[in-house]
Chains A and B, each alone.
Chain A
Amino acid sequence: MSLTVDGTARSLRVDTRTTLLDALREQLGITSPKKGCDHGQCGSCTVLLDGRRHLTCLALAVAYDGVDVVTADGLAGNDLHPVQQAFIKHDGLQCGYCTPGQVCSAVGVLREAEQGMPSHVTEDLTPQDTEAGEGVELTDEEIRERMSGNLCRCGAYVGILDAVREAAGQGEPEREAAGR
């Protein structure tokens, strides 16, 4: 099977039982996505698959042949991604274990809000005019709900919230749209 990981084409042979997380980490040596709970509950294995955030621990690698994978590592070009910069600035990490998943998830959250996708706490379900640049406003409540699939055992949530809020105000950089 083949994958594009952080902009590089990779081919590999996998046992059908291999999860995408294990293929990335154990076979391709890409250790940015972390194995936390390994059951879809903690979010530390989150990456972007074809631009959307997914859990790699609940994905069988063989079912994702040909997919474009962007990990937290691949978000950075010459400079760190604005979400990564904001995490550092606001001390949104302590041990750092959950951070790659948090960062990928936050990038997904920004996109989903820009596309006008509602969340559990979105009061008005009336669709926005996203072509006119309208998206969901990322209030603290929206950020908390949308990031709820990512757990942090250090409890760095306050810093993470600040980081995502700041990144939401900055928009997305061009290099990310190009897949880097």
Chain B
Amino acid sequence: MREFDYVLATSPAHAVETVAGNPDARFLGGGTNLVDHLKLGVTSPDTLVDVSRLPFDEIEECSDGAGLRIGTNVPNSDLAAHPVIRSRFPAVARALLAGASGQIRNQATTGGNLLQRTRCVYFQDVTTPCNKRELGSGCSALEGYGRYNAILGASSDCVATHPSDLAVALAALDAAVVVQDGRGRRRVPIEELHRLPGDRPDLDTTLEHGDLIVAIELPYSQIATRSTYRKVRDRASFAFALVSVAAAIEMDGDRVGDVRIAWGGVAHKPWRAHRAEAELIGRPLTEEAVRAAVDVELADARTGEESAYKIPMLRNTTAVTLTRLAQEAR
């Protein structure tokens, strides 16, 4: 591991200034992903700026009362256990509880969760080429082990998937992050936070170097209270998603009044299935209708031999998740 300086941030402005002024500096939150990457040699910053003691550890109402504001340092376990999250945003609680282990959820933070990096095996194995780790070196996953590869929005440079469960639930519920930079704060809708790989797979997000996520904002809505998250994985617990579905629904009699669908495990970012949603609104909700709507969304999907299973798995998981939610909503 390369030597690095450790700086304990004394204020948000101090943290932002220190990282923005040094291309080799990184923020340190809970560290559950970053410390592992330091050990593996996936990243080797010369300075770590510890933001974990900044006062962003509250869950409170937004100033306009229209939603919940979650500080970036709130541990995943506390967020999942929060009474308002459990009652008004069950998909968020379910997504958090589906992720990692009890110990890691105590340590990992909400902001860090969104910025965790892909678990593509080649990204984490520094002996192999990987464009995300070293731009221009090539993509080993294209011709290699392909079971976890993206099937939507991937490029010839990268087929890695985004690993956060929380981000998928947030994408379905129209959340935003509050970002601080050297000039002030701005809101970034969660759908605009992560990016597709294109020819710059080394960039996971649209944030500039030194931008600090200080909070997540979750808007209250009727549909969010009727939401859930379902994760399919290789073992019952403590594994990343093969595919996952965040869904929310409002019924208008037998027809779909409103619906939200976001997928994990399929793309470089949480994938909000807008086309599938549009197909379903106003129609009677049946498993067949959901499968057909999923297929519309998946029209551009590209699979390899090892990742082809994701299409039927996504179709079935989305159908079961939505029809169960709709039964409860009637």
The chain A residues found within 8 Å of chain B, CB to CB, are: 15-17, 19, 38-40, 43, 46, 52-55, 58-60, 62-63, 105, 108-109, 112, 115-120, 122, 125-127, 144-150
Contacts and interface: CB of A to CB of B under 8 A. Distances in A.
Interface string B201-220: 00000000000000000000
Contact of A53 (B4, B35, B93, B103): B103
A126 B38 CA distance: 40
27 contacts: A16-B4, A16-B48, A17-B1, A39-B39, A40-B32, A40-B104, A52-B77, A54-B106, A54-B107, A58-B32, A60-B48, A62-B6, A108-B102, A118-B86, A118-B97, A120-B94, A122-B97, A125-B94, A126-B87, A127-B83, A127-B87, A146-B102, A148-B238, A149-B100, A149-B102, A149-B104, A150-B101
B231 to A, nearest CB: 9
B4 A43 contact: no
Contacts of B81: 115-118
Q: How large is the interface on B (under 10, 10 to 19, 20 to 34, 35 or more residues)?
A: 35 or more
B143 interface: no
Interface string B30-44: 011001101110000
A117 B80 contact: yes
Nearest to B85: A125
A117 B50 contact: no
A16 B102 contact: no
Given A119-B102, A149-B101, 8 more contacts: A40-B36, A53-B103, A59-B35, A60-B28, A62-B6, A63-B52, A127-B87, A147-B102
Contacts of B52: 63
B90 interface: yes
A117 B35 contact: no
A126 B101 CA distance: 21
Across chains A and B, which 4 residue pairs bring their CB atoms closest together, nearest first?
A149-B101, A148-B237, A125-B86, A117-B81
Contacts of A62: 6
B106 A52 contact: yes
A125 B328 CA distance: 15
Nearest to A55: B103
Nearest to A38: B39
Interface in B15-33: 28, 31-32
B103 A105 contact: yes
Interface in B90-132: 90, 93-94, 97-98, 100-104, 106-107
A43 B101 contact: yes
Interface string B241-265: 0000000000000000000000000
A46 B8 CA distance: 24
Contacts of B38: 17
B3 interface: yes
Most chain A beta carbons < 10 A, residue from B35, B39, B77, B80: B35
Nearest to A62: B6
A22 B311 CA distance: 44
Contacts of A117: 77, 80-81
Contacts of A118: 80-81, 86, 93, 97
A15 B2 CA distance: 11
Contacts of B305: none
A133 B89 CA distance: 25
B300 interface: no
A126 B86 contact: yes
Nearest to A59: B31
Nearest to A50: B106
B6 A112 contact: no
B5 interface: yes
B100 A125 contact: no
